Amino acid sequence: MNALLLPLLLAQVSYSPAEARGIFAEGVEAYGRDDAPAAEAAFRKLLAHGMGGPDVEYNLGTAELAQGKLGEAVLFLERARRQGGGADVDANLTLARGRVVDQVVGATAEEGVLARVVAATSSTAAALAFVAPWALGFLVLVLWRYRPSRATVLLAVGLLLLSLPGASLLLAHVVVSGTVHEAVVLARTLPVRETPDASSKVAFELHAGSSVRLLAASGPFVRLRLPNGLEGWAEQRELARVDDTAMP
């Protein structure tokens, strides 16, 4: 019975490509007539059915920004940036972050070069930088088997060497994504406490759109760190991880 129900359930929770394009178009049209809530609803439909991607994340983040929802705007625009982004994504993300109450600056050097390089690049770009020259180099080697020449060998070796920086960058993304987790504050005001206890003294407050690094969890609380090194405990439900594509 379960085996028979599964395809039916999947059919009910997913859209066909034509339906997805229609919903996306509805969202764009709604935003064009200044109906940001309707645009948000359309793009959230696609995300809820696992049909995201940088375009959906960008448009959803832009719709959230138009409504003043800074936490959600920064979250979705940052996700779009990490998936490839573009000039429009960067522009709106900069605009959203500029409106965040907490403009924290400090010792970003403690993050390390690796984390900063990953933050400044996208995993999609890293993958392309590796796969494109590697695939071409492999094809040239295949060609060399049929038409051997020194020039063909040199070209293949050059292309394969050219893929190494992309491979290193892609590896850096894999390492950082597995060890470094960043999140965005969704709550309008988030009390950050000295210990993981609701009755603990509030050390400081954060506001919607602030970006933090997650260090450890304890029950419903998570230890977070700001770019300036300040740390404390806050409720997990008020935060959304950037690397988690689940709906906030």
Is 105 part of a structural domain of the chain?
no
**What is the pLDDT at residue 177?**
60
Q: In this structure, are 8 and 81 located in the same domain?
A: yes
Domain count, the chain: 3
Instruction: Indicate which CATH number applies to the domain containing 26.
Output: 1.25.40.10
Judge whether 190 lies within some domain.
Answer: yes
201: in domain: yes
The overall pTM is greater than 0.75 = no
Same domain, 70 and 134: no
One domain, residues 148 and 135: yes
The pLDDT value recorded for residue 5 is: 39
Predicted local confidence at residue 112, as pLDDT:
57
Residue 166 sits in the same domain as residue 185: no
Considering the domain architecture, whether residues 213 and 189 belong to the same structural domain is answered as yes
Residue 104 lies in a domain: no
Domain boundary among 71, 98, 125: 98
58 in a domain, yes or no?
yes
Residues 170 and 192 both lie in one domain: no
Are 37 and 92 part of one and the same domain?
A: yes
Together in a domain, 219 and 175: no
SS3 of the chain: the string is: CHHHHHHHHHHHHCCCHHHHHHHHHHHHHHHHCCCHHHHHHHHHHHHHCCCCCHHHHHHHHHHHHHCCCHHHHHHHHHHHHHCCCCHHHHHHHHHHHHCCCCCCCCCHHHHHHHHHHHHCCCHHHHHHHHHHHHHHHHHHHHHHHHCCCHHHHHHHHHHHHHHHHHHHHHHHHHHHHHHCEEEEECCCEEEEECCCCCCCCEEEEEECCCEEEEEEEECCEEEEECCCCCEEEEEHHHEEECCCCCCC
- The CATH number of residue 221's host domain is 2.30.30.40
Same domain, 90 and 63: yes
Decide if 63 is inside a domain: yes
**Torsion over CA: 96, 123, 117, 161 (sign):** negative
Question: What pLDDT, on a 0 to 100 scale, did the predictor assign at position 104?
Answer: 65
Same domain, residue pair 161 and 120: yes
Domain boundary among 98, 121, 155: 98
| In-domain check, residue 139 | yes
Would 107 be classed as within a structural domain?
no
User: Same structural domain for residues 57 and 70?
Assistant: yes
Examine the domain organization and report whether 23 and 86 are in the same domain: yes
Mean pLDDT, consecutive 10-residue stretches, the chain (248 aa), reads: 38 75 95 96 93 93 96 96 89 94 59 63 80 88 84 86 84 66 93 94 94 90 90 94 79
Q: Which domain holds residue 9?
A: 2-98
